[in-house]
Amino acid sequence: MDITLISPYLDIFSYGVRSLSSTLREHGYSTRLIFLHDLKALTEGNFDYPRKYHPAALDGVVELCQDSDLVGISVMSNFYDRSLELTRTIQEKTGVPVMWGGIHPTLMPEECIELADMVFIGEGELALPEFMKKWKGGIDYYDSSNFWFKRNGEIIKNSLLDPIQDLNSIPMQDISLEEHYSINWEQNKIIEMDEKVFESLTTNGVSIGDRRPIFQVMATRGCPHKCSYCCNYAIEKLYPGHGRIRRRSVGNLIDELVYIKGRIPSIELFAFTDDSFMAADSDWLNEFSEEYKSKVGVPLFCLSSPVTINRKMMDLFVDTGLYSIEIGIQTGSAKTKKMYNREISNESVVKAAKLLNEYRDKIYPPVYDIILNNPLERITDMLDTVRLMHSLPHPKIFNYFSMTFFPGTLVLEMALEAGVVKDMIEDVYRKHYFIYGYKYINILYLLAEKRIPGWIFSILTNTALAYILNAILPEKLLKYLVTKAKNRGQE
């Protein structure tokens, strides 16, 4: 086996791993994929990032890696602990070199090169085959683009190739199931991912709305925004002057969707996880709509922004098969909007929400993303957000993200300066970004979803009262109230 690629993530989508596998196979290299998903933890929301793998499961990984020339691990910051455990185990028990790639090594190469045998930075579809050609051919590979190496105590840092402009040149993601393996947490062992296992994992794993099984796809790379809390802020600094969004052709995208639909007939929803799928010109969107309706015909979900929501767009997407849409709001505070470099007015948010509400009989309730637990905010900033949330029309669903100061982001620099991040591993890598926290203000976030009369909500969100209750209410009571508010459900 030339290379074994490991995904330690909670789901089985791992778009980057699957794309690299297809690319390497197209260049004649053999790949093996291991998905160490944890769907139960994901669906129940109780995952623990530092959680260790069972020794028997690690033995299964070792067995699959020992005949490989190279092992690659895709690493996100929250999976630092698990990736390090895998790396040390594979190195000690097989002697096979371990390469780290993905967003975390891309943004933290100095840290990662001390842990892995080599580090890959940025996009891999061009650079990785070139490296493999040298690696397998016995040619000096220490000048390989996008790679960092250790040699005789020296760190070798190579330059980055430009990002791939023609996304059509990248083969569709690998869902062949050839040499694909997954973890069985109940039996603590690695098993072959055959058709039955694959369908079970896609059907019983991540779902949207009324528990519809999904499969994630992407039409673009890049983002039109430069949010200070997002990795795209750092990535754009790596590739200055290359533009933010690259988009596949409609034909290329539809071919992949048709292939996936035929491969996984149980899929009931395609989830487009592009940062802003709707940020395309009208010609592309109209062509996509016609081709999608005639050749795919499966309901779809996408992410968007309040500024891209308009009646013409909604009419088009509802006709195409839009099932649900997720909108990034993040905050209602003018001060925090500046901090996030996301200055979309509250008026624009309300206007978009009211328009979405007109389609309430045709689509699942819209989902609005909110960031809470930001220690750089004041109570007054949080109350501005809560009031905006309450003003949006029903039905509505809020998706909460606890502020995490990820590597490479501008907000991390602010947090370090303010002293609220003292230990990157404990305060960032191990941070659970879905945690609510037990504060009075967080009860208000949850109550903003409910049908509470305006005059009552005005009393609850009184600034002086919020300051007092946020400071004096005991955690035990707050925990009880947060749990009750969360469990009350959507009304």
CA distance 308 to 305: 6
The secondary element (H helix, E strand) that includes residue 302 is: strand 300-304
Pairing of strands 118-120, 147-151: antiparallel
Tell which phi-psi region holds residue 177, choosing left (phi > 0), alpha (psi between -120 and 50) or beta. Answer: left
Residue 491: per-residue pLDDT:
41
Pairing of strands 207-208, 212-217: antiparallel
* Token pair belonging to 274: 């592009």
Residue 490: per-residue pLDDT:
41
- Measured in degrees and rounded to the nearest 5, phi and psi for residue 191 equal -125, 160
Q: What's at 9, amino acid-wise?
A: Y
Residue 240: per-residue pLDDT:
80
Residue 243: per-residue pLDDT:
65
* DSSP 8-class letter at 77: G
Domains, the chain? 3-169 (3.40.50.280), 206-487 (3.80.30.20)
CA distance 314 to 356: 8
CA distance 477 to 473: 7
The sign of the dihedral angle between the CA atoms of 407, 412, 416, 422 is negative
Could you give the angle at the alpha carbon of 231 between the alpha carbons of 227 and 235, nearest 5°?
Answer: 105
Residue 39: per-residue pLDDT:
80
Query: What is the rounded (10 degree) CA torsion for 21, 25, 28, 29?
Result: 30
Residue 242: per-residue pLDDT:
67
* Token pair belonging to 234: 């750092």
* Token pair belonging to 364: 């699942």
* 281 close to 228: Cβ distance less than 8 angstroms: no
Question: Which residues, at least 6 apart from 169, have a Cβ–Cβ distance to it below 8 Å?
Answer: 125
DSSP for 181-239, written as a single string: EEEETTTTEEEE--HHHHHHHHHHSSEETTTEEEEEE-SEES-S---TTSHHHHHHHHS
CA distance 220 to 268: 22
Blockwise average pLDDT, block size 10, the chain, 491 residues: 95 94 98 92 76 94 97 96 97 97 96 97 96 95 97 94 94 96 93 90 79 90 88 85 84 97 90 89 96 97 93 96 96 97 95 97 96 96 98 95 95 96 94 85 92 94 95 88 67 41
C-alpha closest to that of 3 among 184, 139, 124, 85: 124
The secondary element (H helix, E strand) that includes residue 413 is: helix 410-418
* 39 close to 203: Cβ distance less than 8 angstroms: no
CA distance 159 to 144: 8
Residue 158: per-residue pLDDT:
97
